[in-house]
Amino acid sequence: MPVLFELQDACFEYDGIPALRGLSLEIAQGERVALLGANGSGKSTLLRILDALHFASKGSVSFDGQRLTPELFQRDDYALAFRRRVALVFQNPDVQLFNPTVFDEVAFGPLQLQWPKETILSKVAEAMELMGVTHLRDRPPYRLSGGEKKRVALASVLVLDPDVLLLDEPTATLDPRSQSQVVDLIQEWKGSSKTVITATHQLEIVEDIADRVFVLEEGRVAATGIPPEILPNYELLLRANLVHAHRHSHGSVIHSHPHLHSHSKHEH
Amino acid sequence: MKRGFLESTFVGFARVVTRAMISEETARRRGLLQALDPRVRVVGLFSLVLAVTLSRKISVVVALLTVAVAIAILSRVSLFVLVKRVWLVVLGFTAVIAVPAIFVTPGDPVATFGFLTITEQGLRTAAMLILRVETAVTFTTLLILCTPWTHVLKALRAFRLPKEAIAMLAMTHRYVFLLVETASQMLESRRSRTVGILKPAAQRRMAARTAGVLLSKSIELSNEVYLAMQSRGFRGDIQILSDFRLDAWDYLGLTAFLLAGGLAVWMGR
Amino acid sequence: MHIPDGYLSPSTCAVLYAAAATGWYSALKRLKRMLLTRVVPLISVFAAFSFVVMMFNLPLPGGTTGHALGVTIATIVLGPSGGILAISIALVIQALFFGDGGISTLGANCFNMAIIGSLVAYGSYRMIAAGSSITSRRRVVSAAIAGYLAVNAAALVAAIEFGIQPMLFHDARGTPLYAPYPLSIAIPAMMIGHLTFAGLAEAVITAGVVAYLQAADPALLLSTSGLAGGESLTLRPASGSLRRLWIAVAALMLLTPLGILAAGTAWGEWSPSQLAKTGVVKVQVSKSANHPSPAAVPAGLQKLATLWTAPFPAYAPSFVRSRAFGYLLSAMFAVGFLLAASLFLHRFLPRRGRTEYSG
């Protein structure tokens, strides 16, 4: 499969504070990739760089062989084509849902891409149906539950039928049932031509959602590999602040064991 | 009185949010206004508000008020809600302003109490003011109660407002509720952390800090929203989709509104 | 301070809508030029923020509570164009959705609170804080003063709008058709509430937020600081669209007294020869003896004041011919004239540098 994203020594700063410090990676079309990292590791920034919302200050970022630069995105034709092909689901649903109703939200992308009205209406209906939010059509976002918001957010990007899905912590803030729904959705894309890049710190879903993992630490790729290689590597995960050691005592005996952030049950 | 502003603002916030929900229920009922195209509702009701302002005779304003009540009944708006939430409230603060005019306006005296004289002109002007305000507010409230907010906004396009204006109104409305919630949470968490009632100076500081934090969050939110908009193809030209279609009833309704308004203006000139 | 429907005549509403529209148009154009596509999310969220701030019920020194307007914070962070738009949007939402302020008076409310408020806030803040560092105490104080002045300026303009209603718009029997109180009552009545509560509330919250930002996020204060490095969210001296706004304001202030004069002659039994006779003028002045006369008034001003009120027919309500009203109109005319003069001068004199502020 052809390489879709190629980053070489990419650097980016927010107001002088470095977020990416020379990050390099390659992602091929059709891959399902997980970006593992703690807060501050740069994974959200990386997603935004991949979505061309920010541009690297140093190094290069390429999509489908083309270097992504601000100048390139001043061209309407390229920008609109890119926006359709690459979609980002933000971590905070309130940021993603900025339209007055669910229908308006899902229709926003097609409207900006200037699809004809009839096409918009039918595609929006399809996307809402797909994500099971048709009954929420006229609902304003502040009257949606967390899970509903996430489904609407997904509908609003899926309506464009993107080739690349960038998901920023898709299961954060969700109840367990909604979480598993999202995971199921990502699993469905396995084997399709869609490229899915998920940023998360929840280790327990990684195996389900990714065939390859990048571990991010301080704006760089600390390690890369397949889930069976990465997940048991306790030292690596500890260093990347994805797990923490937990100490507690039973009487006079002190136990120390690795603890996933999900605080699942542990053995004694 | 010294319950502390925290509680009272909190209550105020909650009231805002709940009130928003009540409107949507009335909008779903099947009544006169609900059956008309939102643009007809907006243009029609606003032209009646204009008629209220243009009329110079009390009798005409009363007639318009009757029309408003009739529309309310036909649109299945609860008169109880109208009286309680609108008329009494408006009467409350308008009376405060209007009543002194009874004594102060020079003209033909009607009654005298010591040094206070009630004039006929005073009575008429007070009545006129109260009636005007009540009627105008009734029309506006009917529009809002019977129309989902988003339809109101899109209908405003009928007035040729720039797209950015509509987009800003829509987005502001959408984020008011988020910010109200955020502010409530901030105040609530501070409330639970403080013991007893804070002194006014401390309350002021807390208000300022809450506002300050809210401001920073707001700016950050707007930056993130901007990125989200760009991510979905926004390039600066807002596109708005509205699938309103006018049918025969709409034209009839519009004509009725404009005729009523025109008649009122002509008769009240 | 939100004026409901029915308090202002249609013509007043129309004039103020026109004035407000000029302000909106200029502000939007300016913001689009500077912020390009970021205008919509930034102004929207800020309008929502102002909306929430307006709801705070602040305890004030002295044991009372009051509501702030939020216009000063908006102006200090976003600059006057941003302030104008953000507050206007908040006002539209309040009027439509919460019945706070009327539809016919929306233009008036936006003109008073959003436009006058923002411009006065900006002007006084820049002037008083001039040159001081971002984190200096002087900025906090100037923010407070700017807030106080802005709210009171807005209230004063609203009061004037109220106060001229009974004189201009009444039926044949003398019944005021809209706001029933003359300037002599409207102005004190409006101003008392704002000089004390609302002005203080605005001052308090503005100062508090500026102080908070100085510690937490000083960059937000940069754009209106007039200091080097400030992002150009703000006013450049005598820039095209805002100057046009000032011209509009000046015109309004110049023409209103003249308009009133004209209105007075419309239904007055007034003849030029009568006016020329200062005898007639003096008689009318003495007739308003029930109104307190200021201590020492220059003769010229006295004459000028009575010029406005003289043409009104004898059967017009006496408050119309009060001296106070005459002074006020003169003041308005004078301010309008000064404004026009300064705009004129600024146009034709060489500019002195970036941080010069005109008007």
Cβ contact A12:A59 at 8 Å: no
Residues in a beta bridge with A26: A6
Structure tokens at B39: 């643009």
Radius of gyration of chain B (CA): 23
Q: For chain C, which residues make up each domain, given as ranges?
A: 10-235, 238-359
Chains that touch B (3 or more CB pairs under 8 A): A, C
Confirm or reject contact between A245 and chain B (CB < 8 A).
no
Burial of C300-336, coded b for 16+ CB within 10 Å and e otherwise, reads eebbbbbbbbbbbeeebbebbbbbbbbbbbbebbeeb
Q: For chain B, which residues make up each domain, given as ranges?
A: 1-20+161-238, 31-147+244-267
* Residue A48: pLDDT over 90: yes
Looking at per-residue pLDDT, the higher value among C114 and C244 belongs to C114
* Residue A103: pLDDT over 80: yes
Confirm or reject contact between B105 and chain C (CB < 8 A).
yes
Of C102, C121, C120, the residue nearest C16 (C-alpha): C102
Q: Mean pLDDT lowest for which of C1-10, C45-54, C87-96, C233-242?
A: C233-242
Identify the architecture of domain C10-235 in CATH: Orthogonal Bundle (1.10)
Cβ contact C128:C98 at 8 Å: no
Task: Report d(CA B101, CA B126) in Å as an integer.
Answer: 6
Looking at per-residue pLDDT, the higher value among C165 and C170 belongs to C165
CATH superfamily, region A3-260: P-loop containing nucleotide triphosphate hydrolases (3.40.50.300)
- Is B222 in contact with C41 (Cβ distance < 8 A)? yes
Q: For chain A, which residues make up each domain, given as ranges?
A: 3-260
Chain B residues with at least one Cβ partner in A under 8 Å: 21, 148-150, 153, 170-171, 173-175, 177-178, 181, 221, 224-225, 227-235, 239-241, 243
Task: Report d(CA C36, CA A73) in Å as an integer.
Answer: 15
User: What's the gap in Å between the CA of A157 and the closest CA on chain B?
Assistant: 8
Confirm or reject contact between C174 and chain B (CB < 8 A).
yes
C-alpha distances out from residue C329 to C20, C153, C258, Å: 22, 16, 9
User: What's the gap in Å between the CA of A187 and the closest CA on chain B?
Assistant: 24
Per-residue pLDDT, averaged over C120-130, amounts to 89
- Is B150 in contact with A101 (Cβ distance < 8 A)? yes
Name the residue of chain B whose CA is nearest to A52's CA.
B231
Q: What is the pLDDT of residues A183-228, one digit of tens each?
A: 888 888 877 889 999 999 888 888 888 999 999 988 888 889 998 8
Cβ contact C118:C23 at 8 Å: no
User: What's the gap in Å between the CA of A43 and the closest CA on chain B?
Assistant: 16
Q: What is the pLDDT of residues C202-227, one digit of tens each?
A: 998 999 999 999 998 888 888 777 76
ipTM of the complex: 0.88
Q: What is the pLDDT of residues B71-121, one digit of tens each?
A: 999 998 888 888 887 888 888 888 888 888 888 787 888 888 777 788 888
Q: What is the pLDDT of residue B23?
A: 63
List, in order, residues 6 or more apart from A265 with CB less than 8 Å away.
none
Confirm or reject contact between C85 and chain B (CB < 8 A).
yes
Name the residue of chain B whose CA is nearest to C220's CA.
B216
Phi, psi of A220 (to 5 degrees): -135, 165
* Residue C168: pLDDT over 60: yes
Phi, psi of A20 (to 5 degrees): -120, 130
Of B32, B71, B26, the residue nearest B261 (C-alpha): B71
Which residue, among B8, B56, B96, B215, would best test binding to C if mutated, counting the most C CBs under 10 Å from its CB? B215
Q: pLDDT exceeding 90 applies to what percent of chain C?
A: 26
Q: What is the pLDDT of residue C65?
A: 73
Q: How confident is residue A17, by pLDDT bands cut at 50, 70 and 90?
A: confident
User: What's the gap in Å between the CA of B124 and the closest CA on chain C?
Assistant: 7
Three-state SS at C133: coil
Q: What is the pLDDT of residue A25?
A: 93
Q: What is the pLDDT of residue C171?
A: 77
